[in-house]
Structure 1
Amino acid sequence: MFSLSWPIFLQLTCTYFMGLVDVWTLGRISDDAAGAVGSVSTLVTFVLMMFSFMGQGGSLVYARSLGRGGTTEVQEYYFVALLLHIALGAVVGVVLYVFAEDAARLMGLDGRLLSYGTVFLEVVAVGAVLHSVMAMFGGVMAANGFTRQAMVAAVLANVVNIVLIYVLVLSHSGPRWGVEGVALSTVLATAAGLLYSVRLVFFRIGIRFRRPAGTRELRAHGALLMTFTLPTMLEPAFWQAAQIATTRIIAAVGTDELAARMYTLSITNMIGMFSSALSQGLQISLGHLAGAGDLDGIRRRARDARLAGSAIALVLALATALGGDWIMGRFTSDPQVVDTGKLLLWCGLLYLPGSALIMTTASTLRAVGHVTYPAAVGIIVLWGVFVPLAYVLSLPLGLAILGVMIAMAVDENLRALLLSVRWRHLSAPERAHRIVEQRAKDPVAEF
């Protein structure tokens, strides 16, 4: 499980680092360019997250099929998933390109900022299908245990991105294309990573894609893939929307609080990426075990991963809290922002272990076919508890950003509790056999 997880963590880190390089480069162009692209990047992040989670949902289907020895079946899943990712990427790309200016205006941009944001979205839209297909190949490699190869593809994309940014944007002898150059570098870097992934999948690893025998099988495979991927995609979509709402609440509290929140997110997101990587590795591992019908292995590995994930998140949260002075000093010299940032880092102890438990438990449930419950719990608690409570505590009750952190702690720990109770119910001795008894026809076993 850990051998699957650590390359995923580095892959996620590379994706995060690519965004940091883009932001740093835009800052060299102008503050207006950095601000405009930073505003529309929320939408871009949402799109990329949607592709990524669709790829993860597909990898779970592949892992379950591989676990029960369905070689022909899984090859057909690959083919159908590729068609779905191409279609989704093309549709999203066209919509994003056509409505780029409207989307940038919706994010509050006008004048020169509107021009920067529109150009960036238009160029990124052209590469949407590349991101979608690369996420699909990443899921294929992960399900077959080749997470290190997927990591190498992400590293390659980062290297290409840095080189192209220097040539197209920063070099005095280059064209110095500005915002267009940054966006184009990202698209071309993604294309390079995709080409490397295609080479790995078809020529180095030797994975075969097989077209289903008929239209009936094509529809059945597509329906199963969407059954696993849609709930997996919906939860992060609603989570991203909740973060936008939370940012607006914090902005209403004050600019110092908003700045401190943005700075500390760069730290807490790294802890979150570790938990996400562990949960993805766990999901692949349990998917194979579920397909093979290994009930004891599922329960044992799920228990170990849930405990390890929460414990490691707690240790990392404590380490960042203790180093709050040094960490915040790297971002700003404003004493008010530093003090607020230190408080936020200490608040991480309240919610980061719960967040890790959510990810590992949700992956456990999805691996045994319960894909809707984690998504439903996430959406309901986020918008029924977290967002209203964050608003009430921070503004009407005057707790400011501390109110948002309390609401986040309530949200994360409540979701962790609900998911854990669900898993304990399913894995109880008198019901545990149901987890794997239907593996031969691969249903989605819900409520």
Structure 2
Amino acid sequence: MWVLAWPIFIELFLQFLLGAADTLMVSRISDDAVAVVGFSNQLFNALMILFTTVASGAGILIAQKLGSRQKDQARTIGMMAVTASTGIGLILSMILIAFPVQIARVLQLPEHLLPLGKVYISIVGGGMVLTAMMSTLSTVIRNTGNTKGPMYLALGMNVVHIFLNYSFIFGAFGFPQWGLTGVAISTLISRLLATVFLVIMFMYSFERRVMLREMFAVDTKLFREVLKIAWPLGINMACWVFSQLIIFSFISILGSKEMAARTYMNTLESFCFMLGSSIAMAVQIQVAHLFGAKRTKEAYKSAYRALGIGLILVTLNAFVIYLFGKHFLGLFTSDTEIIALGASLLGLNLLLQPGKMLNMAMGNCLNAIGDTRYTMMTAIISMWLVATGLSYVLGIHLGWGLVGIYGCMIADEYLRGILVFMRWRGQKRLRMAEQEQAKENSTRIPTPIAVDV
């Protein structure tokens, strides 16, 4: 598991640096610019569900097929996933280029932020096709067991993005000083370069090289298998992203300072959970391989090992953030009101992270064995009733603000975490796989043994 996890951690850490550098540099423009970036990212995350659904389902099935030695099928699944995601990404790009202001108004972006929102949403959103390709290609490559390739690429992408950010924001090295527009262009260029290299890496990820002319081949049976796993995953992810988007719109009602504080805290939370997230992603790949290879007992134990390690790491990280978070917030902004708002959430973050680890580790393991409908049901119930519904009641209606909203997010993570933990303990899907394997073994005709006389 560690062989899979450490490159994923490095990749996530580099992505965190990318986000932190973005936030830090954008904060030099204005806190309003930070609020727009945070708002836009929530929107982009919501739209990404449309292609990450296919990518996630394909990734799990690729790992299972490779575990059961069905390598050609894994290759076909990878090609179909990339083609489908690219098509969805193209449609989203055209919509975001055409209607940035209308979309921002519907989601209640404050009126004075609309000019900045129009620029950022149209440029970065216009490159959604690149985001779709990057997400799917990285997922496919990681689930073949190659977690180092995306890691190295993330390193290069970070270097390019930070260099261009600095150049466009401050007008360094002879570049024009374009402010938030420059940040958007920098994001687009770095993603374009990363996509080119990921395509090359993908072509050599299987035993047989992937040819471009094969990319439009469709195997309906395999695609149905992908969708069987993917559609509940898609609803699960949609629940999370859209609930977060709605919660962010609640925060926008509180004001632009609250939006900026939430964006800064999101950066700190990402740092806090990186190790835990990498372990959760690694154990999903591992459990899917073991499940595909019919090694169900090893798959069962792997989940607990990952959970134990993850809980220790995220709790330690959350404690460090609790101790020094106020100083970290001061790196992003000098506004004492925003710092105070963010600091009021540090103790709650210490409670949030273990629940998030429990939920993600056990949920990923259920997804890895195809039990995606259960995680979907927990998401529908908990995210909408607890995370979203109660956030409005406590945060807006009763006036508890950000603290009330965070309390609801904590309750949601622990409720889902307990439910998926109990499901894994029951071993329902694992026992079904064992029974199917036993039945298959009992009906198999023994191979005659030739005896020399």
Q: 1:39 matched to which residue of 2?
A: 39
Q: 1:300 matched to which residue of 2?
A: 301
**Contact 1:282–1:360 (Cα < 8 Å) also in 2:** yes
The 1-side partners of 2:37 and 2:407 are apart by: 31
Q: 2:237 matched to which residue of 1?
A: 236
Q: 1:274 matched to which residue of 2?
A: 275
Q: In 2 relative to 1, CA 432–202 (structure 1 residues): closer, same or farther, beyond 3 Å?
A: closer
The 2-side partners of 1:186 and 1:413 are apart by: 35
Gaps of 5+ in 2: 439-453
CA displacement, residues 105-157 of structure 1 (integer Å, 9 cap, x when unaligned): 33445888434322332322442222212222212221121111111111111
Where does 1:195-344 land on structure 2 (aligned, <5 Å)?
195-203=196-204, 208-209=209-210, 218-250=219-251, 260-330=261-331, 341-344=342-345
Amino acid at match of 1:69: R
Q: Which moved more, 1:166-175 or 1:61-70?
A: 166-175
Q: CA deviation at 1:289?
A: 0.3
CA displacement, residues 348-372 of structure 1 (integer Å, 9 cap, x when unaligned): 2333111101101111101111112
Query: Percent identical across equivalent pairs?
Result: 29
State the Cα RMSD in Å. 3.3
Q: 1:95 matched to which residue of 2?
A: 95
Q: In 2 relative to 1, CA 20–367 (structure 1 residues): closer, same or farther, beyond 3 Å?
A: same
Q: 2:365 matched to which residue of 1?
A: 364
The 2-side partners of 1:254 and 1:115 are apart by: 17
Q: 1:192 matched to which residue of 2?
A: 193
Amino acid at match of 1:223: R
**Contact 2:80–2:216 (Cα < 8 Å) also in 1:** no
Q: 2:19 matched to which residue of 1?
A: 19
Q: 1:435 aligns with which of 433, 436, 441?
A: 433
Q: 2:124 matched to which residue of 1?
A: 124
Q: CA deviation at 1:70?
A: 0.1
Q: Which moved more, 1:140-149 or 1:168-177?
A: 168-177
Amino acid at match of 2:45: T
Q: 1:352 matched to which residue of 2?
A: 353
CA displacement, residues 40-76 of structure 1 (integer Å, 9 cap, x when unaligned): 3321233346545543332111000000000121121
The 2-side partners of 1:378 and 1:84 are apart by: 25
Q: In 2 relative to 1, CA 29–207 (structure 1 residues): closer, same or farther, beyond 3 Å?
A: farther
Q: CA deviation at 1:344?
A: 2.0
Q: 1:133 matched to which residue of 2?
A: 133
Q: In 2 relative to 1, CA 276–256 (structure 1 residues): closer, same or farther, beyond 3 Å?
A: same
**Contact 1:291–1:436 (Cα < 8 Å) also in 2:** no
The 2-side partners of 1:153 and 1:306 are apart by: 28
**Contact 1:130–1:191 (Cα < 8 Å) also in 2:** yes
Q: Which moved more, 1:228-237 or 1:108-117?
A: 108-117
Give the number of equivalent residue pairs: 436
- Using structure 1 for the length normalisation, give the TM-score: 0.85
Q: CA deviation at 1:321?
A: 2.2
Amino acid at match of 1:368: I
The 2-side partners of 1:81 and 1:229 are apart by: 11
CA displacement, residues 55-108 of structure 1 (integer Å, 9 cap, x when unaligned): 333211100000000012112112211221121111221222222232233344
The 1-side partners of 2:179 and 2:325 are apart by: 35
**Contact 1:289–1:298 (Cα < 8 Å) also in 2:** yes
Q: CA deviation at 1:5?
A: 1.8
Q: Which moved more, 1:289-298 or 1:44-53?
A: 44-53
Find out whether 1:65 has 2:82 as its counterpart: no
**Contact 2:254–2:401 (Cα < 8 Å) also in 1:** yes
Q: 2:153 matched to which residue of 1?
A: 153
The 1-side partners of 2:191 and 2:118 are apart by: 20
Amino acid at match of 1:417: I
**Contact 2:66–2:289 (Cα < 8 Å) also in 1:** yes
Q: In 2 relative to 1, CA 346–19 (structure 1 residues): closer, same or farther, beyond 3 Å?
A: closer
Amino acid at match of 1:75: R
Q: In 2 relative to 1, CA 433–346 (structure 1 residues): closer, same or farther, beyond 3 Å?
A: same
Q: CA deviation at 1:401?
A: 4.0
Q: Which moved more, 1:193-202 or 1:19-28?
A: 19-28
- Using structure 2 for the length normalisation, give the TM-score: 0.84
**Contact 1:76–1:209 (Cα < 8 Å) also in 2:** no
The 2-side partners of 1:239 and 1:100 are apart by: 23
Q: 2:443 matched to which residue of 1?
A: none
The 2-side partners of 1:251 and 1:111 are apart by: 11
Amino acid at match of 1:4: L
